[in-house]
Amino acid sequence: MDGPAESGRPRAPAPWRESFAARLGIAAEGVPHVVIPLAAAAFAILFGFDWLTIVMLAIAFAIAMFFRDPERTPARSGEVILSAADGRVCDIGEGTPPGLPAGRFRRVSVFMSPLDAHINRAPVGGEVEQVVHTPGAFRAAYHDLASEHNERNLVVIRDAAGRRHPLVQVAGYLARRIVCRVRVGDRVFAGGRIGLIMFGSRLDHFLPIEYRLTVAAGDRVRAGETVIGELMQ
């Protein structure tokens, strides 16, 4: 499920972009952002502007680090829910995802700073049941109401047991683009890439109520590896 998209409508990237991204170890969406300062650095070298070359290379490196796309191995298998984002747990509670009928879910919100990897991954394996993009504001993503008022993208995955696992990609103050690589009917595996949010943002996990949380506010988590919930026996 690695073809990029906006608003839940996947589009396959050009082959050259995928190849270049693989060489750099970054997401394909980051290629244009890295190529521009690299091109500027090349022109600076041609005209002897050493200081500008250093600046442009530093910018290209910083952007490449933001779009880095590391391989991840799920920490364990079984009836668990993995974090869908890298970052710090900024809020824990209960609630219903915006746009879904009332229901009880445990909510785990993860704030992604610009220094975190921003690839989002499926928290469980299953079938994508719903993808809904909602325009909105671009407030600071760590605020409690960001998932209700900010630009956001809802993805609902139904696992093999029929349980629904909603997650909400939330754009923040700096994030102006949400990328969703899946659409309704797609099959995903736990830890598989499903999208990203550019330049600082938040992801809200909504765990079925029968799962107990294994993280607390302030914990650091890694997408596709950190277990944030376990099915209660």
* Cα separation values, 171 from 12, 152, 162, 199, 201, Å: 22, 6, 29, 9, 5
pLDDT per residue over 39-61, tens digit each?
999 999 998 899 999 999 999 99
pLDDT at 179: 86
Place of tokens 């445990």: 106
The answer to whether residue 75 is domain-embedded is: no
Q: Are residues 98 and 169 both part of a single domain? A: yes
110 and 225 co-located in one domain: yes
Asked whether residue 159 falls in the same domain as residue 207, the answer is yes
State residue 135's pLDDT score: 77
Domain count along the chain? 2
By annotation, the residues acting in catalysis are: 201
In a domain, 152, yes or no: yes
- CA dist 21 and 18 (Å) reads 5
Q: Tell me: do 110 and 13 sit in the same domain.
A: no
User: What CA–CA distance (Å, rounded) separates 16 from 29?
Assistant: 12
Q: Domain check: are 44 and 153 in the same one?
A: no
Is 74 inside a domain boundary? no
Residue with tokens 């690589």: 181
106 with 219, same domain: the answer is yes
Residue 43 confidence (pLDDT): 92
Domain annotation covers residue 225:
yes
Examine residue 88 and state whether it is found in any structural domain, yes or no.
Answer: yes
Q: Has residue 72 been placed in a domain?
A: no
The answer to whether position 73 is within a domain reads: no
| CA distances from residue 166 to 50, 96, 110, 159 in whole angstroms, order as listed | 50, 9, 14, 11
Same domain flag for 227 and 156: yes
Question: Is the same domain home to 110 and 154?
Answer: yes
Residue 71 lies in a domain: no
Which residues of the chain register pLDDT less than 70? Answer: 1-16, 75-78, 136-150, 172-176, 200
Output the pLDDT for position 216: 96
Same domain, 48 and 103: no
pLDDT of 14: 64
Residues of the domain holding 23: 5-66
Strands 227-231 and 80-82: antiparallel
224 with 155, same domain? yes
Boundary-marking domain end, from 66, 94, 114: 66
DSSP string, 157-182: EE-TTS-EEEEEEEE-SS---EEE--
CATH of residue 99's domain is 2.70.70
Are 52 and 117 within one domain? Answer: no
The pLDDT value given to residue 1: 42
Clarify whether residues 128 and 178 are in a common domain.
yes
